[in-house]
Structure 1
Amino acid sequence: MMDFKPLAQFIDRVTDWRIPWAEVLVMHRNRVVFRYRNGYLDLDKRIPLEDGAIFNLYSLTKIMTCVAALRLVEQGAILLSDPISAYLPEYAEMTVEKRLPNGETRLESATRPITVRDLFAMTAGFSYNLRSPSLLAAIERTDGKVPTRVFAEALAKEPLLYEPGTRWNYSLCHDVLAALVEVVAGRRFGEYIREEITGPLGMRDTAFDLSEEQMSRLAPQYEFDEASGKPVSKNGNGYRIGTEFESGGAGLLSTVSDYALFLNALSNRGTSPDGVRILAPASVELMRRDLLTDKMREDFSWDHMKGYGYGLGVRTHLSQAESGSLSSLGEFGWAGAAGCLAVIDPSEQLTIMYAQHMLNSQEPYVHPRLKNLVYACL
């Protein structure tokens, strides 16, 4: 007997508190067992949230990008151990910023190549600086277009923060992974996603660019302003540095219904209830395998990720004792900058798609509680 009243009350509470609107969809064994939304799509006009609202997924895009690249691993087109310079030659000779004992930094040649695995696992040595000199030059040179492949070429000119494969750093890895998919698959990343994943799954509202009709459903975006204690309007995607840049790290837009179809296929170990296979079960298992070394674990240190490891682009639940979470071991997924949360749990065949559209998203408060509530309600 499932009673989701406490979850509905929680959504009411957070939308009364700081968050303009929130929506949650819970699927269990391929059935939608609960769906609830509250709050205002537009705070000023007091427009309530309706079905089909489109919003920025931000880093929930990363799960899709990693699935896209894993398909190429399954097809034998790439291996995790390959150096990325085999596909993106500009990464053949990299420099690393070394900090000297006296505090100065100097540039040295990297002794290890960046591998495909490093891109998945956030261990390549990149930063998340979208305003670095090489990227700013690329924006200017391409007249604000910055195609995905050009982005990767520009980023290769920046020094790495550490030797590839030695540390973990949340960074532009998955944006470079999207460029790698383009080169190996021989088509634009957005096209590849549409033909291989979103199209077959029947996801009509997930893309890097929206039609006019979809634009009319794009939800206003907010940012919580600590000074005034309320959300203020802040539209646009700051991670999209070019009109042709299909950001594998943060570029997709979607709806709750649409992205739940994708997440649920992963909860089913790679195949949708209709029999559309996006990954083999073995790939889903690999994706949620913890890849962190002890050294990397020091870097993966956000408080609300205690008890979690990091796999191929996703958090993965390792220890209930450490996390204090009611979710199953092996539960995996990720979150986005405006507060979306994906929970994928193959052992329970459980999918949670939670959405909101507020930067400064209050994630450490909302997400762990939301997860516990769903598991308790089951």
Structure 2
Amino acid sequence: MNFAKLTAYLDTFYNEKNIPGTGVAMYYKHQPVYEHYTGFSDVESQVPFSGDSIFRLYSATKVVTCTALLQLFEQGKFKLTDPLYEYIPEYKHMLVRHTLPDGTEELRPAQNPITIEHLFTMTAGIESYTTDAVRRVVAESNGEGSTLAVIKAVAQEPLAFEPGSHFKYTICHDVLGALLEVITGQTLGQYLQDNIFDPLGMKNTSFQLKDESRFCKLYNHFNAQTHTAESIGESFLLQPGRAYENGGGGLFSTVPDYILFAETLCNYGLAPNGERILRPETVNAMRSPRLSPIAQQDFERFGGPSKYGYSYGLGVRTLVNRENNNSLSANGEFGWDGARGCYVVIDPEAEVTLFYAQQENGSPWYTWHGTVRNYAYASIW
């Protein structure tokens, strides 16, 4: 194994890609083989980006949330074909938006119920929590806006399309978080702590920032030449209320924490410390493509070149045609990414786990994720 080229490539990111700091960790054949950090978590104070740096996962959170729901699936707590309204009754009588030939909109009753599988696969038609109904619920709770209360309010908004007919990347996994709360009687965060974070030894991962002194600054459009950014701070609405735990994008983590989680999925649910969080057949179900031909077309339009060759499973992209992505990973490789650039590759066939982290909004991170992946694979051959 020789990681010199990968390291040299990552070390260019500050000056050539305007990325304040990055971290990468990798397992091969279920052993840690690489960990590298470059740049800064705080440029102004010259604090290096490191294994102690805490950052937001954004949508890389989704893989964790879906894993938690699949644990409940294994326990027989629900079936993928179950209607959502059996657990959250507010979703029983949904309306669907239809655009007429003259451009006007008409609302019609949904012909099919939203199923739990529709939530996993982003085919439910549920769109957003930036609605008047959600704002009322948050205001009435003095700004708390708990996860379940917000998701119940979302049900008052019409669906974008008939459930199951299309793919649209929205808050479906936030709804899964609320579903988990109904099934378990726990908050999403407490369930994750008890059933994933504590068993795996993920000491720095949660919905609450555990140590602000280690938190990466949220740079927006960073400029390496001037060492400044257009702004610093949150630019995404992750919490409509203070108590909202965002199953689609709200977790904080570190590189050492998340690579433990990803490696566990790569080893079919068996963690490096011997804990099992999923069965092998469940991991295979997670990474199996689930989209209809029409939904697959939607996914390809949404994902663009970075998702060429991929389909979508139970909350993860899954590689179905490696040639279309110029990928060195094997078909069946799966994972996801996040809004400020985090990226996870889980490849059970090749026994490769890779996690790349950055915390910068504005960079086209999706254009270099595949290059990082291929350099990593080339390093072990």
Q: Does 1:81 align with 2:85?
A: no
CA contact 1:270–1:277 (8 Å) conserved in 2: yes
Aligned-residue offset at 1:281 = 0.2
Query: Partners of 2:119 and 2:51 in 1: how far apart?
Result: 35
CA contact 2:94–2:110 (8 Å) conserved in 1: yes
The aligned counterpart of 1:234 is 232
1:221 corresponds to which letter in structure 2? L
User: Can you give the 5+ residue segments of structure 1 that lack an aligned partner in the other structure?
Assistant: none
User: Percent sequence identity over matched residues?
Assistant: 39
The aligned counterpart of 2:250 is 251
The aligned counterpart of 1:210 is 209
- After TM superposition, the score normalised by the length of structure 1 is 0.95
CA contact 1:123–1:164 (8 Å) conserved in 2: yes
Aligned-residue offset at 1:131 = 2.1
What is the count of residue pairs matched by the alignment?
373
| 1:267-318 Cα distance to aligned partner (Å, 9 max, x none) | 0001112221110000000000001111011111222101000000000011
The aligned counterpart of 1:124 is 124
1:325 to 327, 332, 335: 327
| 1:92-135 Cα distance to aligned partner (Å, 9 max, x none) | 010101110111001111110000000100000022x3422222
SS where residue 300 of structure 1 aligns? helix
CA contact 2:129–2:150 (8 Å) conserved in 1: no
More off after superposition, 87-96 vs 297-306? 297-306
- After TM superposition, the score normalised by the length of structure 2 is 0.95
CA contact 2:219–2:359 (8 Å) conserved in 1: yes
| 1:3-53 Cα distance to aligned partner (Å, 9 max, x none) | 111111111112222101011001112221111111121122232223311
CA contact 2:21–2:40 (8 Å) conserved in 1: yes
More off after superposition, 325-334 vs 10-19? 10-19
The aligned runs of 1:110-259 (5 Å cut-off) are 110-127=110-127, 129-211=128-210, 214-224=211-221, 231-236=229-234, 238-259=237-258
CA contact 1:220–1:233 (8 Å) conserved in 2: no
CA contact 1:345–1:351 (8 Å) conserved in 2: yes
| 1:189-228 Cα distance to aligned partner (Å, 9 max, x none) | 10100111111111110000133xx2221111111169x9
Q: Does 1:59 align with 2:56?
A: no
User: Can you give the 5+ residue segments of structure 2 that lack an aligned partner in the other structure?
Assistant: none
Query: Partners of 1:210 and 1:231 in 2: how far apart?
Result: 23
| CA 1:133–1:206: 2 relative to 1, 3 Å | same
| 1:225-265 Cα distance to aligned partner (Å, 9 max, x none) | 69x99644432352122211010000100000011111110
* Backbone CA RMSD of aligned residues: 1.5
Query: Partners of 1:311 and 1:134 in 2: how far apart?
Result: 31
2:180 corresponds to which letter in structure 1? V
The aligned counterpart of 1:288 is 287
The aligned counterpart of 2:354 is 352
Query: Partners of 1:10 and 1:135 in 2: how far apart?
Result: 45
